[in-house]
Amino acid sequence: MITLTALRAFDVPIQTPCITPENFTGKSLAEIKVLPVTEGVRNLTLGDLFKIEETNDGTSNITINGDCAKVKRVGQGMKTGEITVNGNIGMHTGEKMAGGKIIVNGNAGGWTGSEMKKGTIEIHGDAGDYTASPYRGNDLGMKGGLITVDGNVGTDVGCYNQGGVIKIKGNAGRFLGFHMSDGAIYVEKDVDVRAGALMTGGKIVVGGKMEILPSFTIDNVKPKVKVDSETNVAGPFYVFLGDLSEKGTGKIFANKAANPAFKFYEKYL
Amino acid sequence: MTEILIKNGFVVDPLNKINCEKMDIAIKNGKVVAKVNEKNAQVIDAAGLTVMAGGVDIHSHVAGAEVNMGRMIRPEDHYKDPVRKTALTRCGTGYSIPSTFVTGYRYSEMGYTSVFNGSVAALKAKHAHEELNDIPLMDKATYILTGDWWFVLENLAKGDVDECARLVAWLMRATKGYAIKIVNPGGLESWGFGRNVHSIDDPVPNFGITPREIMRGLIKVNKKLNMPHTIHLHTNNLGVPGNYQTTLDTMKAFEDLSTDGKPVAHITHIQFASFKGENWGKFKSGAEEIAKYMNAHNHMTLDMGQVTFSDTTTMTADGPFEFSLYELGGHNKWVNSDVETESSGGIIPFHYKKNSPVNALQWSIGLEIALLIKDPWKIFMTTDHPNGGPFYDYPKVLAWLYSKKAREATLKKCHKSAKKKSLLPSIDRELSLYEIAIMTRAGTAKALGLPDKGHLGVGADADVAIFNINPETLDISQKFRTARKAFANAAYTIKDGTIVVKDGQVVNSQIPGRTFWVDAETKDPCKIDDEMKRKFRDYWTIEFENYPVTDHYVKVSDRLERKASV
Amino acid sequence: MSKIINNVVCPICGCLCDDLEVTVKNNEIVKMKNGCAVCEAKMVHGYKSEERILKPMIRKNGKLEPVSMDEAVKKAAQILTDAKYPLLFGWSSTVNEAQRIGVELAEELGSALDNCCSVCHGPSVMATQEVGIPAATLGQIRHRADLIVYWACNPWTSHPRHVERYTAFTDGRFEGSEWKSYMNKMKASASRKKMDIASKRIEREEAQINPQVEVNGPPPQTLQKPGRKMIVVDVRKTMSAEAADYFMQIEPNRDYDVIEALRCIVQDQELDVEKVGGVPVEYLREVADAMMKCEFGVIYFGLGMTQSLGRFRNIEVAIALARDLNRKTKFIISPMRGHFNVTGANQVFAWQTGYPYAIDFSQGYPQFNPGENTAVDLLKREDNDATLVISADPGAHFPSVVMKNMMKHPLITINPDMNAISRLGDVVFPTQWCGIEYVGTAYRMDSVPITLKKVVEAPPGVLTDEELLSKILAEVREIKKKRGLPVGLTEQKIVHTEPIEPPRVCPAPVTKPKPKKVVKKKKEAA
């Protein structure tokens, strides 16, 4: 196991796509120390920014200590192994991830798990905007895998989701699950406006307060809903179908008790 | 200026009827000369290498409003192909629509030295020239969309070809343009109200003219102006199943206009205009019919518009075509860009896939036509960059042309229905290096009317491409991958007498390249009077005086003077 | 001696009107014809401001002191090369020729590069990256449009000649002007309006606390008739709304919902709700009908849409609406770009790097991501440790927290006059007014390139943006060389110090001199 400890507080963005378990595999400590990174416009090595230690436990797992809120692209494209971050982590963590696990004991920046295919990301703090959403201009969202967030998430989370599962214990920002076509998003607390906008498939389950776009239509009321094989949530829930403007068949499950304003929809049932 | 001597290479120079002969090429002051003093010259030992003139691309969308809009809307396309800054080169991004500097570098790395920009609306010509200035290492020029320019429509409807010619001469000069480009004649004007024309005899709404009359009129104009290139035509009904008939009708409509046996029109990206079958389900190849016609007639030239199976971006001034493509579904972005009084346009990102029956057959159609037309002086190699695929797929296209083995290897992976319909298994023809040189430089230079390009005779521009192909030892049809690699990474590219690429790497990026434009001198000027200016103010939203492209916009200007007969 | 210069281009808003007639006397503009009030304010008065910077200045002991150009350039280059991660911001009020060098400078520094569009129509660009855009040049609208929708914008004040030159009040080939009927309408309602304005003034205070949507009643029947129609959609009744055939007032931040409702109606979907954004669905139905029935429709949208809740998603669905409408008729949608060359900045950045704005060069190649590399976001996270601002005034427009972060680090400014940001600068450069004192290219809101003119001489010693940036770039390369860092080659620059020659009039035979007669005629005519 490799442990990276930040040598100082970082003041400008740091890009470290080299921090992945497979990239460290088979490299000596000296080789890892000279892996290229950038601090702002400066080309540096990993050893310039982090104290690097090795614990011989036979794995290439990585632990990062210190406040790394400015450190971007950790675990980009990783396929196996585990990265544990004790502190905050910056943007694009686990981007294009295809396997393995990332645990963040702190907050994560934007685009965490962007275009992710497989694997697990556990965030024990908050997650930023565009978590699990694709890069600009792309409609290839999260294909699979699981992201759990203990805190709140920002806006535009889970856009173009094609099959991933996202579970959020706190609140979620606007445009949750924008244009998603499959997969599931579960938010235990409140969701800001325009959840499920332009969705064509998949499901969004909301335990707290929310708003429904005019382009959704009421379908029925269900007592409970299954998010994935592990999670069943008790309701009752209003079930909305949409987004009609995209001729979509996505489902939004809105908690009946938390959303008394939706009572008028019942006349259509 | 340095002198260069290229020694002992196998020279392939079809315009001078030289086929793989071992000889030296001497260069001085940016021109090919009879000889140089070996002591003063930089000597390139080209023993065992093939020496050709620099490549001349007759149709490629590399600059202009449409291209740049394509760049803007596709960050995900650039994201996968970043290009690093070096001490010699600027940084940028690549893939289907590379940034300008990268465009220049990548063309040069393949031994290309000239590129002709597919289409530009006159109103936005300044933009195209600004971009062309930022494409280093290449000579360039741009075609001007003329077919739906209101002055052309009005004068041809009146039957006043001479006045139309005078106006077109003014237009070419005002836009620093090189040739008359016609895209879906009449269709672009119709698209102004969301309509289209569906045959060459469909009337154009509000103008009392048909596509046939526009095309024939502009061929006459082209002749009267003595333009270096023929009209450059994107046919009606492009991309519509069954359109090979429209294409044949179009070609037939020009038969009587060629009086001296020379071509009168160039149909570009013929692949997209050779579809047979009533609908996409019954989609078939019209290559045989087109090739048969071309083999019997001499009044046309074509370029392929080959599909290369990549995630690319389609862009054309044919707005209605792009919308119908969008309506086929499966696309997340559609751009339409109409230009007042002149043109329309559209962009759609498109991924050509081998497992799509239509895409796979399109791939086959392009190659079928190129191989079935016997005379390589009649059809040139392009991908209609980026419509069929990016230009750096050219080596792949060449491999399919010179190696049946390469074709079979790709056809094997294609959709089974395309495999069944493809004519390729029945075609054994494999192009020689000589024929390839015709289709990529000699033939295009000739068709474009560039006497100093496309060959290596004394007096030619010193644009040279040297490839790591030994015709004596390498059987390109068998070892197609080796040759493909050689075409992708020129051993040397020489631009204007300076070595700019060595071993597929840019070694000098400081040669800006020239911009060609045509100045056709008419006997009487077209009348620029108050009436004309008033009309101009009515037709466009900018003033007459602010319309032309001034010298400010052409970094290195190369004006081609022509004497017109009107 | 006064002289009149014709066809001058107005360097203010995205309309780039190019029919100004400017009278110059003693190297001063004394009169301007054809332009709007905004244009007159800058072209006749503003550019001669007493606040004009004439000498470069460096902040010493807290005070700006005049220094030589060389000293200022050296200092600026030093700041930029010492910084770990500089930001170059602005670009929308300068010409392409300068922007080109700006990209090269950013590339050489490895810095972040962003332009003002990130705080205006950047969201529109992002939306086109998601769904594309059916657009057209302004003339296409003038000739053909019979339904013109201004959504969340107020051209009457922001683009004063937009309606008159390009849309509802201009005569096109296929569509006539609505001007006459508008005049009649205005006369009839003049007295009523006075009452309205008076009563509104009384109500205003209350209205601001709790914005109430005043539903104007159903759309008039005329919307469904042939001929040119203008609809304005906004959160408040603007001057443009007064001129419209129908004004649809919606609740603030509800543009997205209203557009989505329109999209559903266009696609024959039933809505469960009765009102969207404060507007009854039946009214929306009539508006949607008008949109589907027209021959050629257009939506122009403004900052009310790009900078309100939902940002680029608002534009995304608006574009999707226009796109859907193309299945029924011809429909176009376009942003009302603000600064005169903000479009040009997007264009130049895009052709040189592949990306329109929000670019980061720190990896040696361009990377794009609004939200990550946009100026406001970068500064908010305090990622930059030096800033260069050119031809923009973030001092007046950025959020205060962002400005506070910017001020923690060195700031270089390049602006013609002492605007808010120049006052805050550590190195302050003077520059010429482009389009008044030097020539260059700008792109109209519909991406039509137009050459700006030079009408008066700049004050002595004041350089153009292009010359200034070239000097800084050369100095940056010098410093990098001294530090043993690799530098890029200096491309041969063609600096246009002389005015662009006027376009040659057809035909211009090469061998003979220009036919003088024709040239003369042209001047008289214009």
Q: Contact partners of A by the rule of 3+ C-beta pairs under 8 A?
A: B, C
CA gap C463, C493 in Å, rounded: 16
Residue C49, classed as helix, strand or coil, is coil
Question: How far B417 CA sits from the closest chain A CA (Å)?
Answer: 29
CA gap C185, C196 in Å, rounded: 16
Residue ranges per structural domain of chain A:
107-268
Q: What's the pLDDT score for residue C179?
A: 65
Question: How far A138 CA sits from the closest chain B CA (Å)?
Answer: 6
Angle of CA points C115, C119, C121, to nearest 5° = 85
**Phi, psi at B498, each rounded to 5°:** -125, 135
Q: Is C119 exposed, middle or buried (0-12, 13-18, 19+ CB in 10 A)?
A: buried
CB contact under 8 A, B509 and C489: yes
Amino acid symbol at C198: A
CB contact under 8 A, C383 and A70: yes
Gap between the terminal Cα atoms of chain B: 42
* pLDDT over threshold 80, residue C491: no
Question: How far B404 CA sits from the closest chain C CA (Å)?
Answer: 37
| ipTM score assigned to the predicted complex | 0.96
Q: pLDDT (tens digit, 9 = 90+) per residue, A161-200?
A: 999 999 999 999 999 999 999 999 999 999 999 999 999 9
Question: How far A245 CA sits from the closest chain C CA (Å)?
Answer: 5
Q: What's the pLDDT score for residue C201?
A: 57
Tally of residues, chain A:
269
Average pLDDT of chain B is: 95
Gap between the terminal Cα atoms of chain C: 20
What is the rounded average pLDDT of the residues C373-399?
95
Q: Tell me the two tokens of residue B465.
A: 């491409």
In sequence order, the 6+-apart residues with CB closer than 8 A to the CB of C61 are none
CA gap C369, B8 in Å, rounded: 52
Q: pLDDT (tens digit, 9 = 90+) per residue, B79-103?
A: 999 999 998 999 999 999 999 999 9
**Phi, psi at C319, each rounded to 5°:** -65, -40
CB contact under 8 A, B75 and A139: no
- Does residue A54 belong to the interface with chain C, where contact is any CB pair within 8 Å? no
- Does residue B485 belong to the interface with chain C, where contact is any CB pair within 8 Å? no
CA gap B306, B293 in Å, rounded: 20
Q: pLDDT (tens digit, 9 = 90+) per residue, C332-369?
A: 999 999 999 999 999 999 999 999 999 999 999 999 99
Q: pLDDT (tens digit, 9 = 90+) per residue, C432-447?
A: 999 999 999 999 999 9
Closest CA to C47 of C39, C57, C56: C39
CB contact under 8 A, A130 and C126: no
CB contact under 8 A, A40 and C368: no
pLDDT tens, position by position, for chain A (269 residues)? Answer: 999 999 999 999 999 999 999 999 989 999 999 999 999 999 999 999 999 999 888 888 999 999 999 999 999 999 999 999 999 999 999 999 999 999 999 999 999 999 999 999 999 999 999 999 999 999 989 999 999 999 999 999 999 999 999 999 999 999 999 999 999 999 999 999 999 999 999 999 999 999 999 999 999 999 999 999 999 999 899 999 989 999 999 999 999 999 999 999 999 98
Q: What's the pLDDT score for residue A222?
A: 96
Strand partners, B19: B12
Among A12, A70, A199, the residue to mutate for chain C (most C Cβ within 10 A): A12
Amino acid symbol at A15: Q
Amino acid symbol at A30: A
Residue ranges per structural domain of chain C:
51-120+345-440+456-482, 123-335
Of B79, B332, B333, the CB nearest to A135: B79
CA gap A199, A182 in Å, rounded: 9
Q: pLDDT (tens digit, 9 = 90+) per residue, C402-431?
A: 999 999 999 999 999 999 999 999 999 999
- Does residue C100 belong to the interface with chain B, where contact is any CB pair within 8 Å? yes
Nearest CA in chain B to C363: B84
Question: How far C70 CA sits from the closest chain A CA (Å)?
Answer: 25
- For residue C149, give Cα distances in angstroms to A20, A131, B434, C226, C298: 52, 36, 60, 15, 6
**Phi, psi at A81, each rounded to 5°:** 80, -170
- Does residue A203 belong to the interface with chain C, where contact is any CB pair within 8 Å? no
CA gap C141, B534 in Å, rounded: 19
Q: In this structure, which CATH number among 3.40.1130, 3.20.20, 3.30.310, 3.90.1570 belongs to the domain B55-448?
A: 3.20.20
* pLDDT over threshold 80, residue B260: yes
* pLDDT over threshold 60, residue C495: no
- Does residue A174 belong to the interface with chain C, where contact is any CB pair within 8 Å? yes
Per-residue b or e along A25-46, where b marks 16 or more CB atoms closer than 10 Å to that residue's CB:
eeeeeeebeebebbbbbeeeeb
CA gap A215, A193 in Å, rounded: 13
Residue ranges per structural domain of chain B:
55-448
Q: pLDDT (tens digit, 9 = 90+) per residue, B447-504?
A: 999 999 999 999 999 999 999 999 999 999 999 999 999 999 999 999 999 999 999 9
* pLDDT over threshold 50, residue C210: no
With contact defined as beta carbons under 8 Å apart, do A24 and A16 qualify?
A: no
CA gap B34, A237 in Å, rounded: 88
Residues of chain B neighbouring A136 (CB-CB closer than 8 A): 75-76
Task: Tell me which architecture the domain covering C123-335 has in CATH.
Answer: 3-Layer(aba) Sandwich (3.40)
With contact defined as beta carbons under 8 Å apart, do C115 and C349 qualify?
A: yes
CB contact under 8 A, B542 and C18: yes
Q: What's the pLDDT score for residue C518?
A: 40
More confident: C492 or A197: A197
Q: What's the pLDDT score for residue B329?
A: 79
| Cis peptide bond N-terminal to A243, omega within 30 | yes
pLDDT over 70, % of chain C: 85
CB contact under 8 A, B127 and C18: no
Q: pLDDT (tens digit, 9 = 90+) per residue, C162-201?
A: 998 998 888 888 888 766 566 555 555 554 555 566 556 5
Q: What's the pLDDT score for residue C524?
A: 40
- Does residue B169 belong to the interface with chain C, where contact is any CB pair within 8 Å? yes
Of A136, A193, A215, the CB nearest to C261: A215
Residues of chain C neighbouring B539 (CB-CB closer than 8 A): 139, 173
Among A43, A130, A138, the residue to mutate for chain B (most B Cβ within 10 A): A138
CB contact under 8 A, A136 and B75: yes
Instruction: Give the residue ranges of DSSP H helices in C391-464.
Output: 394-397, 400-407, 420-424
Q: What's the pLDDT score for residue C299?
A: 97
Q: pLDDT (tens digit, 9 = 90+) per residue, C122-156?
A: 999 999 999 999 999 999 999 999 999 999 999 99
Chain C (353-392) residues lying within 8 Å, Cβ to Cβ, of chain B = 353-356, 361, 363-368
Instruction: Please report where in the chains the tokens 């309006």 appear, as a residue.
Output: C193
DSSP codes joined into one string, B211-276: HHHHHHHHHHHHHHTT-SS-EEEE-TTTT-TTTHHHHHHHHHHTGGG-SSSS--EEE--GGGG-EE
With contact defined as beta carbons under 8 Å apart, do B117 and B143 qualify?
A: yes
Ranges assigned E (strand) in C430-474: 440-443, 449-452
Residue C247, classed as helix, strand or coil, is strand
* pLDDT over threshold 90, residue C519: no
Instruction: Give the residue ranges of DSSP H helices in chain A.
Output: 21-24, 29-33, 46-49
* pLDDT over threshold 70, residue B44: yes
Question: How far A12 CA sits from the closest chain C CA (Å)?
Answer: 5
Tell me, which fold does domain C51-120+345-440+456-482 have in CATH? Rossmann fold (3.40.50)
CB contact under 8 A, C448 and B543: no
Displacement of CA A64 from its chain's centroid (Å): 19
CA gap A110, A92 in Å, rounded: 6
CA gap C100, C92 in Å, rounded: 12
Q: What's the pLDDT score for residue A269?
A: 87
| Helix, strand, coil shares, percent, chain B, to 5 | 35, 25, 40
